[in-house]
Structures are given as structure tokens and as C-alpha cells.
Amino acid sequence: MELTGAEIFVECLKEEGVDTIFGYPGGAVLFLYDELYKQQDNINHILVRHEQGAVHAAEGYAKATNKPGVALVTSGPGATNAVTGIADAYMDSVPLVVFTGQVPRHLIGNDAFQEVDIVGITRPCVKHNFLVTDVNELAMTIKKAFYIASTGRPGPVLVDIPKDITTARCEFHYPAEITMRSYNPTVKGNKRQVRRAIDLMLESKRPILYTGGGVVLSGAAHQLTELTKELGFPITNTLMGLGGYPSMDKQFVGMLGMHGTYEANNAMHHSDLVIAIGSRFDDRVTGNIEKFCPYAKIIHVDIDPASISKNVKVDVPIVGDVKSVILDMLEELRARTERPDAAALADWWKQIAEWQGMDCLKYNQDMNAAIKAQFVVEKLWEATNGDAYITSDVGQHQMWAAQYYKFSQPNRWINSGGLGTMGFGLPAAMGVQMAFPEETVACITGDGSIQMCIQELATCLQYHMPIKVISLNNGYLGMVRQWQEFFYQKRYAMSYMEALPDFVKLAEAYGHVGMRIDKPGDVEGALKEALAMKDRLVFMDFITERENNVFPMIPAGAGQNEMILV
Amino acid sequence: MRHVISILMENEAGALSRVAGLFSARGYNIESLTVAPTDDATLSRLTLVTRGSEEIVEQIVKQLNKLIDVVKVMDLAQYSHIEREMMLVKVGVDKSAACEAVKRLSDIFRGNIVDVSDKTYTIELTGERSKLDAFVNALKEYRIIEVVRSGSMGIARGEASLHV
Ligand SMILES: Cc1cc2nc3c(=O)[nH]c(=O)nc-3n(C[C@H](O)[C@H](O)[C@H](O)COP(=O)(O)OP(=O)(O)OC[C@H]3O[C@@H](n4cnc5c(N)ncnc54)[C@H](O)[C@@H]3O)c2cc1C
Ligand SMILES: Cc1ncc(C[n+]2csc(CCOP(=O)(O)OP(=O)(O)O)c2C)c(N)n1
Ligand SMILES: [Mg+2]
């Protein structure tokens, strides 16, 4: 049967099992919206209030489910508004398919109304993109888009659809399978390399596992735990890898990197074997690359060959999917008679225990002074039994969330790491809440960040998303202020959030519940009260200590063992 | 070090800008770039000359392979290979003495005079880059009006080849 492009679009989404999409209409996508209207029983479309919100929401959905998130926006300004979210997804390897409307084919290149070359604009920040030039290719293009977005190293794929394609007709046929001669990600790791890796693990005296977002993306948390237990090695997670290993476990030494723990960073620095799994040696992790892990051999498991030996020269590269490679490692390890060097490991753990003795995340909440952000996060963790979905914005509050919310499961910690996009938190929480309507979703945010996508409070009302917004309000662009305090002699250039709105009234104006909490003694009770409101969005404005700093901190140019502790 | 990199990619709109964009976005250098469809019209072959340390060229090759439109990449520096470039030069030959001398130079370099007017000769020359440089140098005495160079193309010697 012949279908229109718009009908094909919706059929393809159904074929891909898409249940929810996030978007915003406009001229170029009117036929698509008309079709979505007719098929609203099949596909739930969430109307955001800004296209950036649509893409972040799709990211939140994807990060929580490991399924591709889908966004739909119109041409021109709709498409350019989506770019920040697309770049964010690219940096954090989030599987996303973004559909943009485009002017009709005969007008392309004419500076037509609401025309932008979105394929050109997004080329450097997508995994791939397409301009559909023939309705006969629409279904295949959408198939490819989902396939590319969700396989290999995941990432955003953009499909630009000219308006006249949405009315053109053709026979609809959705390909069940797809192969592309130019795209064949390697899943299975090389056996010989796996054996070499195990050799090194068995010889090592001071090993450490350094695992990242790739573990979460691969759905390999369970296998990672098994491997870590089998080896008895200490393990650290990147910001993106949190939840990939249970934080309360005794082998876990905390996050590493710029705001990582004293024990994690020192263990990295002094180790003789770094086993990197699905982590990419980001500069926030390595500190000064010249001083990085001077005594260590490095094993690196990554599905993207370009991640390997990009920043740090690797001794044993293993290209493959984390889950598959870990399973091979376990098999290899269990086939050996040798075991890791128990005596050496005992010494290593003793050394680590000494570093842990610094208690680097200790803080003191004076119950008569201002609320500490750390205290709020810790109480939130307790009140949610460590089991909530937590999204975050970008800044100090993000680091405190990462340090003090002890994640025990993957896909629960949803933040913007690579691009560090303020404004991510609230729309991402919407995506998570749509994926898991019954679960507790909290967005930890700052007084600066929340204002970057605050308009989405209206979306939350429309779709009854009972998100708990945890605003750690310090009246500053705190992360910027901290740098200015340390490195610019306290010249607080533009880091002061003068003229903050009354967030309680603002929340109420949007139809939600607002709460202001300014005493430490009220934190716990307020959290319990808010969490009990299962069907309401509660905006909790915690007035926190103004000039609080995130510690530990590795200053720019320093090595991992050169942390500022207080 | 200088590397000649051969790329086989889908002959699709935008594929070339993905390659060019990759180089500018990541700060890699492009000395020359040439591209045309192959015997299989669905594929384009692109030859790109770049400079960089071994680590950088390794990253370049990996990043190129990562582009979805790129089917295969070959760093010809790893192989014994042949490299050729083509050039068209238009030279002013107003004086009859120049006519003779330019023709003689062209012959020495095994060039072909492919167009003649009252005042100009246009010479076609193919060869290694250094030969083309030498020819342009030798012509400096005369009035060079225009130089067009194709950029290098390369192919591996013997059995080694780049194909799907
Ligand atoms: C204010 C701020 C402060 C920060 N401070 C820190 C900090 O202190 N510590 C820290 O760690 N980060 C910090 N970051 C985050 C940092 O910028 C990086 O985003 C982060 O370190 C990258 O994490 P990752 O190495 O796990 O890689 P990710 O970005 O999660 O990348 C995943 C890697 O795994 C690979 N991969 C994906 N899927 C698979 C698969 N199926 N199989 C195998 N491999 C796969 C990918 O190719 C990629 O190389 C900070 C960010 C901000 C905004
Ligand atoms: C879109 C965007 N603009 C600017 C920045 C730079 N930046 C990083 S953290 C930060 C301050 C964030 O302030 P706030 O949300 O109040 O969080 P706090 O650090 O105070 O907890 C800024 C401006 C950014 N990351 N993203
Ligand atoms: Mg703030």
C-alpha cells in the first residue's frame, strides 16, 4: 500500500518500538504532527517548551533505559535550538534520533523561510546525519538512523526531512535487518589481547579498575561486579560510570578525577596496572597527562578504536563491547590455575586504607549554621533508600550529587559530563519520568542552571510529572565562583546570581508545590514530605551555604596525587 | 612525517565535507586532497596528504574510519607505493625565444603542450610532486600565468590494494 512520508514516519517509529517522543511543532513538520495526532494512541508525544528541552528529555529517556531517545523539531530555529542537546548527546555517547523538519526540496539553498543547513551545522556533533531527498528512501534512512544511534559507540543521529517529502507517497516497506558495508562495529574482543590482559592482572601488585560510561551503556554492570569480585581489585568510577558498580561495596574507592576521592586518585597514581573499561581518559580524569599513572601498564577496553591511545598510550588495547569482553575475561580467568597475588593485594589494600583514612569527603554540618549542600544530598540519599533516579545540572551541586549520592544501580545517575550543559537536569528528569512513571525522579540543580530550562516546569504540569526538584541554592554560579576564589584572587566576575526569582512563587505560578528550606534541621522532614507527594512536582529551594567549595580538587596542571583537600 | 592517506567512501552528498570538517575540527593539517568516483560509481576514492607525528596520524586514520560514510582507509606510508600528481601550467610566450625554450623545457620534463595561443602555451605534466616543483622552478625565468595542480594521488605497489 502507498503511504505518505508522514505516515511512513510514524510507521517507522512504531516498527522501532518507540513509545514516547519529545518535540515541538512548526510549519515544516505540520504533516508529521497531523499524523501523530491521528496515531496518538500509538505514540505518546510530549510537548516541551523549548527544543533544547526536547533533546535533553530524549537523552534522559535514553540514559535511563539504554533505548534510543527520539525528538522531533521544526526547521530553522527549531533545529538550531536543538543543537545544544545534540552536542551534549554526542559528548556523552547517548543514543538519540533527532528528526528535524526542512523546507521543501525545491526551496533548499534559497534562504527560504526558516531554512537552515542543519545537516551542515550539526555535522561535527552527530554520530551521523541524513537529509532525506527521496520519499522512497525515508524508511531505510530511519532504519539506518536507529541502527547507527544504538549500536557501536552510541550517539545522536539527525534525520532532516523536507516538508514535501512528508506528503509524497510511496510503497512502504520496513527492512527487518540492515547491514552497511561502511559501518560494522566490533563487538567481540580479540582473544589474544584478552589473554594478555589476564596475564597482566595476575602479575600485578597494585592494580585498579577504572571504569566509565561504557559499562552503563553496555548494560554490563552485573558482569563488571562479577569480574571485580573475582579479582579482588579496587575499583573506581568516572563521573559517567557511577552506578556501574555498587558504591557501597568495600572494593569501591569512589569517583576519580578532578573532584574524585583522595583514595581513588592516589590509587591510580601509584598503581602498576590500570584496567580501563568503557572509560576514555578525559582530561578531567587524568589531570596533567605528563604526570598520569607513571608506574602503570594500561589495559583499555573500548568499543571505539579512536578512544584507545587517544590521550594516553595503552599497553593492551581491546576493541569490543564491554559486556562481551568482560565475559571473555571471566572465562579466561576461571580457566587459569593462577590467582591474583594475594600477598601483594593485601599490602595494596593496606595502603589504600591509609588513604581512605583521610576521610576526604568529611564535612561538618553545624545544625545552627547554613545548610551544607552535601548534607542535603546525603539526606536525599537516605530518604530515597539510594534508589531514586537522579538527574543533575552542571556545577558544584553536580559534583556533590556525584560524591554523596551513593548509587547502587546503573542508569540511575543521569548528568551531562562531556559537554557540561547547564539546563540539562530538569528536561532530562522529564525523560526519565516518562520512561518510569512510577519511580522517584529527583533533579539536583543550582540556582543558575535551573533557570536555563525553567520553562519546562510547564511541560511537567501538562504531563503530570511528579519530579522532585532539589535546588541547592547558593546564590552564586558556584563552580565559577570557586575557581575565581582559588585562581583569580576572589574577583567574582559575574558569578553572583543577583536578582534571583522567588523559586517558591515561581513553582506555584507554574502550578506546582514550592518549598523553601533554610535550616539544617528542616532538611530531612521537608524531603520526606516532598517525597510523599507522589503525584506532585515539588520544587525544593534549599538555601545553602553561599561560599561552600567542592573538595577534593585537582587544580589545573596538577597530577592525580596533587589534590587540594580543604 | 608526511602521509598519503587513501580513503574509499560512499559516493554521497556531504561525504567529502565530513572528511574536510573532521580535519578542521580536530586541527589536523591537509596538504592536498583529491577526490573522484571510482569504477564502482557508488564509491568515491579520496587521496589526502597530511603531516603529523605517528600518534596523530594513527588518530587521523581512526577518526576517518569512524565516519559512517567511510568504507576503508589505507595509510600509504605503511606500503611501498606510487604517488602521482598532475599539473597544468599556462606560460606567457610573447617572444619567440621563449617559445622555443619553454617547449624544450616541457620536453625535458616529458610534459605535453595541450593548448597554444599567440601569447601562451599550456603544458600538462604528470609526475611526482618534486618533479612538478622542479618544473615550476625552471619556468620561473618565463612568465607563469597560471598553475593548477591536482594534489597527489597514490596507489600501493604489488598485491596490496584498497577495495571493498
Ligand atoms: C563540572 C564538571 C566536573 C567534572 N569532574 C569530573 C571528575 O572529577 N571526574 C570524572 O570522572 N569526570 C568528571 N567530569 C566529567 C568529564 O568531563 C567526562 O565526561 C567523564 O570523565 C567521561 O567519562 P568516561 O571516561 O566514563 O567516558 P564516557 O563519556 O562515558 O564515554 C564512554 C566511553 O566508553 C566507550 N563505550 C561506549 N559504549 C561502549 C560499549 N558498549 N562497550 C565498550 N565501550 C563503550 C565509548 O567509546 C567511550 O570511550 C566532570 C564534568 C563536569 C561538567
Ligand atoms: C550552558 C552553560 N553555560 C556556562 C557554563 C559554565 N558553568 C559551569 S558551572 C557554572 C555555574 C553553575 O551555577 P549553578 O547552577 O548555580 O550551580 P552551582 O555551581 O552554584 O552549584 C557555569 C556558569 C556551563 N557549564 N554551561
Ligand atoms: Mg549556584
Q: Which domain holds residue A98?
A: 2-171
Instruction: Tell me, yes or no, whether A229 and A155 share the same domain.
Output: no
Instruction: Tell me, yes or no, whether A330 and A400 share the same domain.
Output: no
Tell me which residue has cell 580467568. A333
CA-only gyration radius of chain B, Å:
19
- Residue B159 placed within a domain: no
- Residue B47 placed within a domain: yes
**Is the CB of A244 inside a 6 Å radius of any atom of ligand 1?**
no
Catalytic residue selected from A15, A39, A114, A230: A114
pLDDT above 90: residue B98 = no
Instruction: Tell me, yes or no, whether A468 and A501 share the same domain.
Output: yes
Q: So what's the pLDDT on residue A499?
A: 94
- Residue B31 placed within a domain: yes
Helix (H) or strand (E) holding A503: helix A503-509
Asked if residue A350 lies in contact with residue A524, where contact means CB atoms within 8 angstroms, the answer is: no
The total of structural domains in chain A comes to 3
- Residue A182 placed within a domain: no
Picking from B78, B95, B130, the residue at the C-terminal end of a domain is: B78
- Residue B161 placed within a domain: no
Instruction: Tell me, yes or no, whether A411 and A308 share the same domain.
Output: no
**Can you give the three-state secondary structure of A424-474, one letter per residue?**
CHHHHHHHHHHHCCCCCEEEEEECCHHHHCCCHHHHHHHCCCCCEEEEEEC
Q: So what's the pLDDT on residue A165?
A: 98
Q: So what's the pLDDT on residue A566?
A: 82
pLDDT above 90: residue B96 = no
Say which CATH number the domain at B58 has.
3.30.70.260
Instruction: Tell me, yes or no, whether B21 and B73 share the same domain.
Output: yes
- Residue B160 placed within a domain: no
B26 reaches A (C-beta below 8 A): no
Instruction: Tell me, yes or no, whether B148 and B87 share the same domain.
Output: yes
Cα gap B28→B34, rounded to integer Å? 17
Q: Do B14 and A148 touch (CB under 8 A)?
A: no
Catalytic residue selected from A144, A163, A297, A468: A163
**What's the pTM value of the predicted model, to 2 decimals?**
0.97
Geometric angle at alpha carbon A439, from A438 and A445, rounded to 5°? 130
Burial class of residue A236 (count of CB atoms within 10 Å of its CB; 0-12, 13-18, 19+): buried
- Residue B103 placed within a domain: yes
Report how far ligand 1's centroid is from the alpha carbon of A332 (Å). Answer: 27
- Residue A362 placed within a domain: no
Q: So what's the pLDDT on residue A298?
A: 98
Report B:71-100 residues touching A (Cβ under 8 A): 71
Whether A563 is catalytic is: no
DSSP-assigned letters across all residues of A155-202: -EEEEEEEGGGGT-EEE----S---BTTB----SPPHHHHHHHHHHHH
- Residue A548 placed within a domain: no
Q: Which domain holds residue B108?
A: 82-153
The total of structural domains in chain B comes to 2
- Residue A364 placed within a domain: no
Instruction: Tell me, yes or no, whether A198 and A159 share the same domain.
Output: no
Bond from prior residue into A552 cis (ω within 30 degrees of 0): yes
Asked if residue B10 lies in contact with residue B71, where contact means CB atoms within 8 angstroms, the answer is: yes
Say which CATH number the domain at A522 has.
3.40.50.970
Q: Do A182 and B68 touch (CB under 8 A)?
A: yes
Average pLDDT, chain A: 97
pLDDT above 90: residue B104 = yes
CA distance B105 to chain A (A): 46
Q: So what's the pLDDT on residue A5?
A: 98
Q: So what's the pLDDT on residue A206?
A: 98
Instruction: Tell me, yes or no, whether B57 and B18 share the same domain.
Output: yes
Residue A244, all three cell numbers: 556501574
pLDDT above 90: residue B97 = no
- Residue A294 placed within a domain: yes
Instruction: Tell me, yes or no, whether A295 and A322 share the same domain.
Output: yes
User: Which residues, given as ranges, of chain A have pLDDT below 50?
Assistant: none
HSE-CB of A412 using CA atoms within 13 angstroms: 24
- Residue B158 placed within a domain: no
Instruction: Tell me, yes or no, whether A17 and A80 share the same domain.
Output: yes
- Residue A102 placed within a domain: yes
Q: So what's the pLDDT on residue B16?
A: 96
Instruction: Tell me, yes or no, whether A345 and A458 share the same domain.
Output: no
Asked if residue A131 lies in contact with residue A157, where contact means CB atoms within 8 angstroms, the answer is: no
CA-proximal residue: ligand 2, atom 9 (nearest)? A395
Whether A113 is catalytic is: yes
pLDDT tens-digit series, residues B57-86:
999 999 999 999 999 999 999 999 999 999
Report how far ligand 1's centroid is from the alpha carbon of A166 (Å). Answer: 38
Instruction: Tell me, yes or no, whether B95 and B143 share the same domain.
Output: yes
Say which CATH number the domain at A315 has.
3.40.50.1220
Question: Out of A120, A148, A313, whose CB is closest to B68?
Answer: A148
Cβ pairs A/B, distance under 8 A: 39
Instruction: Tell me, yes or no, whether A96 and A204 share the same domain.
Output: no
Q: Which atom of ligand 1 is nearest to the CA of A304?
A: 47
Instruction: Tell me, yes or no, whether B7 and B70 share the same domain.
Output: yes
pLDDT above 80: residue B95 = no
Whether A529 is catalytic is: no
Of A233, A353, A256, which is closest to residue A561 (Cα–Cα)?
A256
Instruction: Tell me, yes or no, whether B100 and B56 share the same domain.
Output: no
Q: Do B14 and A131 touch (CB under 8 A)?
A: yes
Instruction: Tell me, yes or no, whether A259 and A222 share the same domain.
Output: yes
